[in-house]
Structure 1
Amino acid sequence: MAGKRESARIAAREQEQAEKQRNAAGATYKELVEAHYIPWAEREKKSAAADKTRLKLHIFPVIGALTLDEVTPQVLEALRDKMVASHCRATALQVLALVRKTFNHLGRLGLHTLRNPVALVKLPRLDNACERFFTHDEFDRFLAAAGKLGNPDLHDACILAVDTGLRLGELNRLMPADVNLELGFLTVREADGKPGGVVPLNSRVRAMLQKRLLTIAPGQHIFRTTRDGDREMSRRFTRLARALGLNDGVTDRRQQLTFHSLRHTFGSWLALADVELYRIQKLMRHKTPAMVQRYAHLRPSWLASDVEVLCKPPSRPDHVAD
């Protein structure tokens, strides 16, 4: 009897699944995304507003009227090429990533059993690794200007980022419970595929956090930004950098100072102070040593002892007596 009931339940689930897929088969990509993905994103994602903007401006005009099985890799390659030509490779990647997320979400809901078409699309390669970092004079000037703004968030966020190497998203997720001023460290929670870990605090950060925590309730974030917090802080940074002329005449994105440049500055200043690459890797919470090799050329002692031997006369070989 129990076996028959279980078989009946399985049959009912399969029938329900088949009914979902039949109903979705005639619906367009736009209809399904608006009915199922967007309401979920608005409840669960801080980046819901950005998702809706990309869908409206870039994705719906190209594939919105298609059914899911009509969204082929060839169609998405055309979308990719259009985005690269009219915007940039990074925007094209963001758009394709969002298409992948929507297909995955609709699949989890049982609305299709198709292979995600983005998996068969060659993604544009990025070469936008941040190369420029703040000089000490530039940072002091930027920090002084940020301190004159009405809101202290940017000033304090810059201190935290340049002295700990925190990413912007990690900074915006910090809660008072993550900070231990007595022992001098904070805890970064793993999120978005980025490793967490314990980050030591220097005296400048500890003084800033001690003052800031006096005004923060236990359940609040340390940086009280809006739902679109990452973009808000980044926009504040960009506006002030523009006002100070820090990026005047700089067209290469890798050479422009952005909020993420503060993390790159953290690693670069450590290397210039001759901190070992292994220690920089641990402080920046990089998964592999290869990710900190970009700082190797900044270490003053890097390979210096090896080339110094060229200034010394070669030692005479020892002769073994006959």
Structure 2
Amino acid sequence: MLTYKIDGKTKTEAVGWASEGIKPSEAFELHCKLKENRKKGFGPRTIAEMRAEGDEERSEREAEQRRQARLNISFKDYFEQYYLPEVELANRPETVDKTKIQVNIWIDPVVEGLPMREIGLEYLKRIRANLNRKKRSPRTIQYVFITFNAIWNMAREDGFVEGESPAKKRSFRKTMPKVDNRRERFLTRGEEDKLLEELSRRSQQLHDMALLSIECGLRRGEMFALTWDCVDFDSDTLHLRRTKSDKSRWVPVTQRAKSMLQERAPGNTGEFVFKDRFGRQLVALSNSFDKAVNRIGLNDGVTDRKMRVVFHSLRHSYASNFLKAGGSLYALSKLMGHGSINVTERYGHLANDDLVAAVKQMEASRTAEKTGGKVVPLHKAQGSSE
């Protein structure tokens, strides 16, 4: 025990027990040290202050150890411990699976065990070289680095790394392969009818899904998630709640699509409109679609993958039919659920006939002004019998 005066008060503190190894000489040295600190006005003056200072130093030391551990975390560890749980909460299972593949197959084998903060351009170039060696498409390469950037950005927000992702450096982005995966093929009315007829012989459900995509422009995933409570027969609309952009939208239903849905409609609501053979939500399309396409020869002689007919081509056919009927790009953007009008502008060439007609009308108007003649309005000139 040590007894001393401090701030005008007598204070007694326990040094420790002899059984704990505290010797009288050590207690005396401690007493002298505290006495000297009180006299100088610097350092701990009591055993309690000394212990508190020790706790503070220990806390600072432990905090520094945690900071170093965060700075030394590997890409894979951060992905599994922090990023993946967030992705699983916010995304569909197929998106999660693709993210795992991008990390486990392409990114981690190159940067395995390396602290994230030490990942530089040389590692990203090796990842890209591996993708090229395996002849992966430009779009796949792009997705791998989109995932890398997303993980890096979240790690930066969490304090695990500093600075911008190395994949965003201008020198790296300039050497990335250019991507143009836009499907350009759409079906004529005759091709639509032949395909639907062939599909009906193979699978009525697949026929109905194809019809809904042609008539309403739905994506495959939007049809998988469609439930009967989203179908409004009174207003002839579909309420799409689960979309690619995660923004719900209303889509008008044509009479042809409405008749098909009414034939499918069960007596109860809440169930999926299209189901697998166990009555559960669909997760993939039957390969009967590709077989039907091949059977009627829609892809015969087609070598450009952008011109091959796939299920998504039906959505493009919807866009084509809408624009050729006089619809605007802005309205089409809303109907198809595009995040930006820039995406919709890929269909602008489908409205070229209207543009040509409009220019010819402008030219005729100029000629009439010079000659004093009369210009027939465009809408009358294009088929009115009046």
TM-score bracket, normalised by the shorter chain, equals 0.7 to 0.9
Report if the CA contact (8 A) 1:29-1:67 is conserved.
Answer: yes
- 1:138 correspondence with 2:191: yes
- 1:64 correspondence with 2:117: no
- 1:89 correspondence with 2:138: yes
Can you give the 5+ residue segments of structure 2 that lack an aligned partner in the other structure?
A: 1-58, 373-386
Q: 1:288 to 1:234 in 2, by over 3 A?
A: farther
- Out of 16, 24, 49, the residue aligned to residue 97 of structure 2 is 49
Q: Distance in 2 between matches of 1:293 and 1:43?
A: 33
Q: 1:211 to 1:22 in 2, by over 3 A?
A: farther
Map residues 48-197 of structure 1 onto 2, 5 A cutoff. Answer: 48-84=96-132, 86-107=135-156, 111-113=160-162, 115-120=164-169, 121-122=172-173, 123-150=176-203, 152-189=204-241, 191-193=243-245, 196-197=248-249
Query: Larger C-alpha radius of gyration, 1 or 2?
Result: 2
Code of the residue aligned with 1:48 in structure 2: it is V
- Out of 314, 317, 321, the residue aligned to residue 262 of structure 1 is 314
Q: 1:197 to 1:66 in 2, by over 3 A?
A: same
Code of the residue aligned with 2:196 in structure 1: it is L
Q: 1:14 to 1:148 in 2, by over 3 A?
A: farther
Q: Deviations over 1:41-63 (max 9, x none)?
A: 45553222222233333222223
Report if the CA contact (8 A) 1:162-1:262 is conserved.
Answer: yes
Q: Secondary structure at the match of 2:199?
A: helix
Q: Distance in 1 between matches of 2:124 and 2:151?
A: 14
Q: 1:109 to 1:222 in 2, by over 3 A?
A: farther
Q: Secondary structure at the match of 1:306?
A: helix
- Out of 194, 201, 222, the residue aligned to residue 273 of structure 2 is 222
Shift of 1:295: 3.5
Q: Please give the root-mean-square deviation of Cα atoms over the aligned residues, in Å.
A: 3.7
Q: Distance in 1 between matches of 2:100 and 2:119?
A: 19
Tell me the residue number matched to 2:375.
none
Can you give the 5+ residue segments of structure 1 that lack an aligned partner in the other structure?
A: 1-12
- 1:31 correspondence with 2:77: yes
Q: 1:183 to 1:307 in 2, by over 3 A?
A: same
Code of the residue aligned with 1:274 in structure 2: it is G
Report if the CA contact (8 A) 1:132-1:261 is conserved.
Answer: yes
Q: Distance in 2 between matches of 1:14 and 1:175?
A: 56
Code of the residue aligned with 1:269 in structure 2: it is N
Shift of 1:213: 3.5
Shift of 1:15: 9.3
Report if the CA contact (8 A) 1:165-1:266 is conserved.
Answer: yes
- 1:294 correspondence with 2:347: yes
Tell me the residue number matched to 1:208.
260
Report if the CA contact (8 A) 1:27-1:67 is conserved.
Answer: yes
Report if the CA contact (8 A) 2:152-2:165 is conserved.
Answer: yes
Q: 1:271 to 1:222 in 2, by over 3 A?
A: same
Report if the CA contact (8 A) 1:21-1:110 is conserved.
Answer: no
Q: Secondary structure at the match of 2:181?
A: coil
Q: Secondary structure at the match of 2:355?
A: coil
Q: Distance in 1 between matches of 2:312 and 2:82?
A: 33
Q: 1:17 to 1:209 in 2, by over 3 A?
A: farther
Q: Distance in 1 between matches of 2:90 and 2:128?
A: 27
Report if the CA contact (8 A) 1:189-1:197 is conserved.
Answer: yes
Q: Secondary structure at the match of 1:143?
A: helix
Q: Distance in 1 between matches of 2:184 and 2:64?
A: 52
- Larger displacement relative to structure 2 (109-118 or 119-128): 109-118
Q: Distance in 2 between matches of 1:16 and 1:228?
A: 51
Report if the CA contact (8 A) 2:274-2:281 is conserved.
Answer: no
Identity %: 25
Q: Deviations over 1:115-159 (max 9, x none)?
A: 333333415432222211012222222222322335x44322211
Higher relative contact order (Cα pairs below 8 Å, separated by 6+ residues)? 1
Q: Secondary structure at the match of 1:249?
A: coil
Q: 1:194 to 1:130 in 2, by over 3 A?
A: farther
Shift of 1:217: 4.7
- 1:307 correspondence with 2:360: yes
Alignment: residue pair count: 302
Q: 1:72 to 1:242 in 2, by over 3 A?
A: farther
